[in-house]
């Protein structure tokens, strides 16, 4: 009888120890495997990477990626982020100059500033459909990125978010976006068109340019355009509206325009401009010297030309033609075939810093420095200001490459282990009770 109790107790102890080992071992095993691959994970947060780079897949035990984890890692070529990840920190992949492919799953809802800044080889990007904000300098200097999908959940595009993405050709702004920094697309020298979703309550588009909703204010003209036709609803050309538009050489303002804000034409290629008599206010224009201004006597246009010693011609003078171009619609010409963006002679010039919003109120946008690149950026918002660039944002279906290992199979194993564990405990306890009873 005593031997039977001892056997029962031994079996119980064995079962308890065995189940504890089974339950604890996978955790140590997983940690060892992850660390051997170079992933340092603390409480679900990927805090460091010491691996050899190449094409990597982040473990599905990770829920967040810390700031600057892969920053400056030039050996990294491809990264797949699992569906368990919710947030990616600032500068996480900044300066990874050989990273050509990145898969950011739909589980990610927050990304930090400069997350892919300086990834000059990044050309294949699958981006989360649930991100709410594209922060400052998120894709700054991604010179190989020719297309990006701006998710419909995005409400804000930060300062220099896509600055110097020189291959972007067109962009679509979703309906939810209500804030765009005027430097968001600065230096995107191949950008020729920005289209705004018709359901957007803050912005609209006309001839590939961004306006406020009612088109009374021209906010941004893409730097890759070769001609522009301004809406006849427009009353104001905003600050830096045509900044960096080197390909546009001739502009005719409609009679609806009354205000040309400071630096609206700065750093542009406009050589000939027609300023109607309706214009009453023209701000100072730095880094711009037009070859010819067509305007009217006793107008703000004439005063602007005289004060700056620009060559001008009065359209209401008897010896002047009614139309400087000999047509009913001067200044508008068809865009030629776009040149190879890789052989552009003119460097893209980012928009000047400032603050604006879609109403008359001013707001301040701020930027942060890239971990692998120095400097900071600030910009105003295009709620009444201007934007800088264009790239085709077409939505793609996202397929997760990996998912967390959860579900019925995992639960069944846990339940079985727990059951065996409790059987072992029962055997130990019952053997002790039998001893007490016999004693």
Whichever domain contains 397, its CATH number is: 3.80.10
The better pLDDT of the pair 320, 398 is held by 320
| Mean pLDDT value across residues 403-426 | 55
Mean pLDDT computed over every residue of the chain: 80
Q: Does 119 reside within a domain?
A: yes
Residue in the block written with tokens 């600030």: 378
As a whole number, mean pLDDT of residues 162-183 equals 97
pLDDT of residue 18 exceeding 80 = no
User: Which residues touch 112 (CB under 8 Å, ≥6 apart)?
Assistant: 67, 87, 88, 89, 90, 91, 92, 135
pLDDT at site 439: 58
pLDDT tens-digit map of 28-47: 444 544 565 899 999 999 99
Query: Would you state the pLDDT for residue 363?
Result: 34
* Residue 17 falls inside a structural domain: no
Is residue 270 in some structural domain?
Answer: no
Q: Does a structural domain hold residue 70? A: yes
Residues 6+ away with beta carbon under 8 Å from 358: 178, 202, 203, 212, 213, 381, 382, 383, 384
Instruction: Give the structural domain span for 215.
Output: 29-224+346-421
Paired residues of 88 in beta bridges: 65, 111
pLDDT of 3 > 70? The answer is: no
Measure the CA–CA gap between 409 and 84, rounded to whole angstroms.
18
pLDDT (tens digit, 9 = 90+) per residue, 260-277? Answer: 999 999 999 999 999 999
SS3 label, residue 49 = strand
Q: What is the torsional sign of CA 206, 208, 212, 218? A: negative
- Is 314 a domain residue? no
**pLDDT greater than 70 at residue 330:** no
DSSP state of 352: P
pLDDT in tens, 49-102: 999 999 999 999 999 999 999 999 999 999 999 999 999 999 999 999 999 999
Question: How far is 355 from 384, CA to CA, in rounded Å?
Answer: 9
Residue 127 lies in a domain: yes
pLDDT band at 427 (very low <50, low <70, confident <90, very high): low
Average pLDDT over residues 354-367: 36
Bridge partner list, 206: 209
The percent of residues in the chain predicted with pLDDT above 90, rounded, is 62
pLDDT at 425: 66
Would you say residue 79 lies in a domain? yes
The region of weakest confidence among 162-176, 200-214, 239-253, 334-348 is 334-348
Banded model confidence at residue 5, pLDDT cuts 50, 70, 90: low
Is residue 295 one of the residues assigned to a domain?
no
Rounded Cα distance between 367 and 135, Å, is 8
Strand order in the sheet with 281-282: 203-206, 209-212, 217-220, 236-237, 259-260, 281-282
Which residue would you say has higher pLDDT here, 25 or 215?
Answer: 215
Local structure of 16: helix, strand or coil: helix
Number of structural domains (the chain) is: 1
Look at residue 341 and tell me whether its pLDDT is greater than 60.
no
**Higher local confidence (pLDDT), 120 or 419:** 120
pLDDT of residue 318: 76
Q: State yes or no: pLDDT of 388 exceeds 50.
A: no
Model confidence at 300, pLDDT cuts 50, 70, 90, reads very high
């Amino acid at each position: 009888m005593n031997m039977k109790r001892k056997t029962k107790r031994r079996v119980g102890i064995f079962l308890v120890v065995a189940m504890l080992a089974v339950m604890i071992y996978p955790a140590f095993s997983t940690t060892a495997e992850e660390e051997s691959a170079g992933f340092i994970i603390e409480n679900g947060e990927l805090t460091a990477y010491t691996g050899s780079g190449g094409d990597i897949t982040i473990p599905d035990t990770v829920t967040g990626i810390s700031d600057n984890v892969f920053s400056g890692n030039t050996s990294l070529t491809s990264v797949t982020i699992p569906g368990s990840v919710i947030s990616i920190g600032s500068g996480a992949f900044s300066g990874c100059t050989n990273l050509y492919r990145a898969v950011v799953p739909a589980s990610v809802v927050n990304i930090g500033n400069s997350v892919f800044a300086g990834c000059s080889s990044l050309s294949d990007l699958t981006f989360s459909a649930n991100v709410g904000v594209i922060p400052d300098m998120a894709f700054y200097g991604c010179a190989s990125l020719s297309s990006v999908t701006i998710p419909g959940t995005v409400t804000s595009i930060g300062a220099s978010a896509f600055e110097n993405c020189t291959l972007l050709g067109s962009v679509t702004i979703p309906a939810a976006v209500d804030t765009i920094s005027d430097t968001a697309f600065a230096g995107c020298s191949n950008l020729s068109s920005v289209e705004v979703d018709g359901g957007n309550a803050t912005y609209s588009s006309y001839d590939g340019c961004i306006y406020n909703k009612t088109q009374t204010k021209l906010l941004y003209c893409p730097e890759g355009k070769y001609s522009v036709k301004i809406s006849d609803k427009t009353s104001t050309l905003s600050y830096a509206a045509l900044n960096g538009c080197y390909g546009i050489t001739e502009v005719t303002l409609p009679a609806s325009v009354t205000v040309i804000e400071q630096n609206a034409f700065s750093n542009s290629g406009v050589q000939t401009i027609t300023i109607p008599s309706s214009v009453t206010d023209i701000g100072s224009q730095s880094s711009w010297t037009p070859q010819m201004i067509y305007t009217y006597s006793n107008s703000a246009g004439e005063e602007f030309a005289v004060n700056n010693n620009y060559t001008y011609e009065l359209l209401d003078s008897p010896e002047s033609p009614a139309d400087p171009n000999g047509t009913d619609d001067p200044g508008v010409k068809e865009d030629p075939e776009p040149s190879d963006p890789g052989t552009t002679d003119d460097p893209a010039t980012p928009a000047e810093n400032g603050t604006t919003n879609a109403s008359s109120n001013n707001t301040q946008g701020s930027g942060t420095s890239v971990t692998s690149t120095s400097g900071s950026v600030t910009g105003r918002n295009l709620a009444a200001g201007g934007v800088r660039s264009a790239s085709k944002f077409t939505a793609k279906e996202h397929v997760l490459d990996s998912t967390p290992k959860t579900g019925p199979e995992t639960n069944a194993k846990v339940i079985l282990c727990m059951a065996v564990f409790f059987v072992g405990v029962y055997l130990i306890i019952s053997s002790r009770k039998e001893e007490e009873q016999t004693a």
